[in-house]
Structure formats: structure tokens, C-alpha cells
Amino acid sequence: MAFPDNALSSAPQVSGFAGSRALATTKTVDYEDGGIGIQDTSKGLLYQRWRARLIDGHTVLLDAPNVPAFALYEGAGITEISFSFDSNMRPVLAFVQAGAAKLRWFDSVVGEQVITEIGAGALTPRVSLDDKRIVGSDGYQISDVILGYVRDGSLYYRQQRDRFTVERLLATGITKGLIKIGFSRGLRLQFMLEI
């Protein structure tokens, strides 16, 4: 579970980001660790570095060393992106389109990719699978895609297990947006804020 008691640590445990999350990102380029292919977890979720790029404010391309670039999503007026994978190696894309923050994800209830509007005033939506390691003798763990964003000076998160419908407050007094979220070398989910 990413947030025991739905709260941040009482004392910050800051460390560098792990894996591909340690790379520098921009609002139009993001990196994430993932499996050998889309919907293929046979080599685990830390097999290779994946990259998402926004091209001409219209097309989000996704690629990896052994996966040629393909269009993950297309739509006019996209200004920023963040991506991850769920525990079944299905892409999850947070983006801002025409000024509105949105999330594209696989909803297992309806059995297809859906787009969820995050809500008025949401800024800098960022996503990450909270823990990609295989833990336990059965090879399974409980992990969640976490969506973070800033609205009205507060940091909020939602999680996949709630189908991204429950908004939880993490912090107030946030003056700018999120740069990224991801697993840290200190084995915690970490948020990087603009300063």
C-alpha cells in the first residue's frame, strides 16, 4: 500500500528516484521501467526502460529498446504527459488536453481503455505504479497505479483500486505543480514538486 492511513510520512524520507524515474523528464517526455512488451509481464516490470514522447501537441508515442515507437494516444491540444504501466503492463497516461487534466487507463470493470476527467482546476497530473518489484513466494504483490496532481494549492492523489474515483488530500501549501512521482531508492513512493 502506497499510503498507510492515506497520508505522507510524518518525517520526509527523501532519496533519489529508482530506475528510469531517475532520468530527467519534461512536460513532453517521460520515462518508466516496464516489461518486455505491452501486456507481457513474463520478464517482470523492471525489464527495460520505456519512453513516452509528445509530438507536435497531438501524438503520444511510446517505445522501448525492443519495441518500435507506436502511437499510444492521439488528440489535439495536448500540452503535457506522464505515463506508467499497471501491474498487467497496460499503459496508463496522465495528460493535459485543451487545459483539462485527464487520465487514460484500462478499466477492468468495463474491459477497455477509458478516459477519466480529473476535474476542474487540476494541474500537472502525474502517474506511477507504486511498486514494480515482485514480492512474496507466490510472485504477487499488492500494487497500485497512483495519480497525483495539484489543485488550489493542495496535493491530491487517487489510486487504481478505487477506479480513480476517490480523491485524497496529501498536503496543503503547494505553490507550484508536480514534476514527477515514482519509487525511490529508499523504497518509498515519492513526489517531486516544482520549486
What single-letter DSSP state applies at residue 160? G
The pLDDT tens digits for 66-104 are 999 999 999 999 999 999 999 999 999 999 999 999 999
The pLDDT tens digits for 43-71 are 999 999 999 999 999 999 999 999 999 99
Q: How many whole angstroms separate alpha carbon 141 and alpha carbon 8?
A: 21
What pLDDT, on a 0 to 100 scale, did the predictor assign at position 1?
Answer: 46
The pLDDT tens digits for 110-156 are 999 999 999 999 999 999 998 887 654 455 557 899 999 999 999 99
Measured in whole angstroms, how far is the alpha carbon of residue 171 from the centre of its chain? 18
Domain ranges within the chain, ordered by starting residue:
17-193
Query: pTM for this one?
Result: 0.91
Q: What is the CA radius of gyration of the chain?
A: 16
